A and B are shown apart, each in its own frame.
Chain A
Amino acid sequence: MTTSSLSRAFNSDIAWSFRTSWSARISSLILVLLFAAALLAPVLATQNPYDISQLFLLDSELPPSWIDGGDPRYLLGTDQQARDVYSSILYGLRLSLIVGFASVALAAALGVSLGLLGGFVGGVVDGAIMRVADILLSFPAILVALLVNGIARGVLPPERHADAAIWVMILAIGLTNWVQYARTVRGSTMVERHKEYVQAARINGVSGAGIMIHHILPNVLGPVLVIATINLGMAVLTEATLSFLGVGMPATQPSLGTLIRIGNEYLFSGIWWVVIFPSVVLVVLVLAVNVLGDWLRDALNPKLR
């Protein structure tokens, strides 16, 4: 990036809106911190909670370090297997974010391609894609994700469930969320395909696929970013819900949702910290993503101002 384009980016409307919006700045600061924590989990964690040789059963069920009986080595306390809650959260956050980003990428890729195809080709293809989208949309996302999950589990042999869990989750959530991208992209593609630059490309003998990919695609990608941001919050939440229900990430590879499920089993022994801290991280993460998504939607859409 050259200096001029840097300064242009810095002086743009979006940057101005960002500098003046408290909520956008705070939520993106929180997100940067959470992303960094997830990325640096092996460095920041005080133990590897899934390496059994590092767990000492004598240290199980310790409360957070600032409460009587807490141990300074375990900032947020330990669970029944003596796993450090703080370290588990870092690793769990990492998995939650990986599944979240990957499923958003899958949904966006699928939705953009289908929307582009439907909007450009029209006719039967378009009709078929949109009918499927309508049906999908009339069901709550969580139900569709559960169904894809169930089918994947039925197809895979049981001994492979744990290894494949992360892929199954990405697939289940990705296949659930593509509709919004497809509808938006289809709408703008139908507008773009009648414009002069597309006709010019046709006259120049560019193939249909070439026009779609090189000419129309760059012009319909704008809203996709907004949808993707809002979608990330949804995806993280869906992953957490599925894992909480016990059909997501396994206990050997826990995401935030799995941690909350495990903690929930100990709730009645009064060990609240195992369930509360991962929940807080999850809520803060989703809230920050949603606030940022709302801001982005308003900032990119001047009509709303």
Chain B
Amino acid sequence: MLGFLIRRIIQSIFVMLAVALIAFMMFRFMGDPVNSLVAENATVEERDAVRERLGLDQPLWVQYGRFVARAATGDFGLSWRNARPVSTLLAERFPATAELVLVAAGLSLLLGIPLGILTALRPHSFSTQTLQFFSLIGISLPTFVTGILLILVFSVWLGWLPSFGRGTVVDIGWWSTGFLTLSGLKALVLPSVMLCLFQLTLIMRLVRAEMMEVLRTDYIKFARARGLTNRSIHFRHALKNTLIPVITIFGLQLGGLIAFAIVTETVFQWPGMGALFIQAVSFGDVPVMAAYLVLVSLIFVVINTTVDLLYAVLDPRLRVDGARAAH
């Protein structure tokens, strides 16, 4: 277990160093920073002086080391577009994205697992057929088309829900939350539904497939032979084993949610990090792009590592195998 943990953490560090290298290369080779700092008619000596002051004359690996050290403290310099510290920009935007992603993730679990169980226990009922059909549509529709349809129906035609922004937010320290006001909650509905739809269908299908698989196994047959109630068999015996793969997929998909939040934030003009990243991409604003990349990668790596470890904790079979392999 410990060996596994250490291996996973070392692997994660390497991934982060690779990501930092990409971010560093973007800084180093996209535009010459010296040009933006010296006067147009600066002499070669003046340029060299600036270059020396910034440390750009040192070997690349020294510069890379300094970049990593600064990035580790969250320092990515100033945005090229509006000359504010990148870390401040991201910190302002982070709560909006975090709340959106958390609500979407929660929705997909709260709806996906029960629906998956329902469709597995009653494979031939009308509701199952309907759900399966809609899940096929849910998987095939491009996310932004779903978002546009939601806006068209619920904002333009019915006028029930707002189609852009976060509503009124309340500041708690540096965190701005939309959970505490009615308009904030209403503004969350459409974006989180749009964002969760794909994952919801995925979890529903996964739970369904796993549940049907588990229900065929011997220990379930044995439980039935013992005369346990259906309720106890389905929820106390079968569900536990069904949920283990769900954790893995859910963890992996959480990264997908963060990435697709970019699209959701654009459709609903949600003031999150994704919208900031899109602006940075269209203006070629390297510091913001690099910082977003590093931050999102860090989140991914932490999620993936946690999922792997959780998996080992939750599934005793893996632990036994690990112990045997160690001998």
A residues with a Cβ closer than 8 A to B are: 135, 138-140, 142-143, 146-147, 149-151, 153-155, 158, 237, 240-241, 244-247, 260, 264, 267-268, 270, 272, 275-276, 279, 282-283, 286-287, 290
A270 to B151, CA, bound (A): 11
Q: How many residues of B contact A (CB 8 A)?
A: 40
**4 nearest A-B pairs in the assembled complex, by CB-CB distance:** A154-B284, A140-B259, A150-B281, A154-B30
Determine how close the nearest CB of chain B comes to the CB of A217; give it in whole angstroms: 30
Question: For the complex, is B94 an interface residue (Cβ under 8 Å from A)?
Answer: no
Question: What residues on A are CB-neighbors of B304 within 8 Å?
Answer: 138
Determine how close the nearest CB of chain B comes to the CB of A273; give it in whole angstroms: 11
Determine how close the nearest CB of chain B comes to the CB of A147; give it in whole angstroms: 6
Contact code string B16-45 (vs A, CB < 8 Å = 1, else 0): 001100100010001100000000000000
Cβ A245 vs Cβ B30 within 8 A: no
A13 to B170, CA, bound (A): 64
Question: What residues on A are CB-neighbors of B108 within 8 Å?
Answer: none
Question: What residues on B are CB-neighbors of A279 within 8 Å?
Answer: 142, 145, 148
Q: Is the interface of A mostly helix, strand, loop or mixed?
A: helix
B residues with a Cβ closer than 8 A to A are: 15, 18-19, 22, 26, 30-31, 140-145, 148, 151-152, 156, 163, 255-256, 259-260, 262-263, 266-267, 277-278, 280-284, 286, 289, 293, 296-297, 300, 304
Determine how close the nearest CB of chain A comes to the CB of B293; give it in whole angstroms: 6
A143-B296, A155-B284 given; name 7 further pairs at CB < 8 Å: A140-B256, A245-B266, A260-B148, A264-B148, A268-B156, A283-B140, A283-B142
Cβ A139 vs Cβ B300 within 8 A: yes
Known A155-B30, A245-B262, A246-B278; judge A270-B142 contact (CB<8 A): no
Cβ B262 vs Cβ A154 within 8 A: no
Known A146-B262, A151-B26, A279-B145; judge A287-B140 contact (CB<8 A): yes
Cβ A240 vs Cβ B259 within 8 A: no
Can you list 10 residue pairs at the A/B interface with Cβ under 8 Å?
Answer: A135-B15, A135-B18, A147-B289, A150-B280, A150-B284, A153-B281, A155-B30, A244-B144, A244-B263, A246-B278
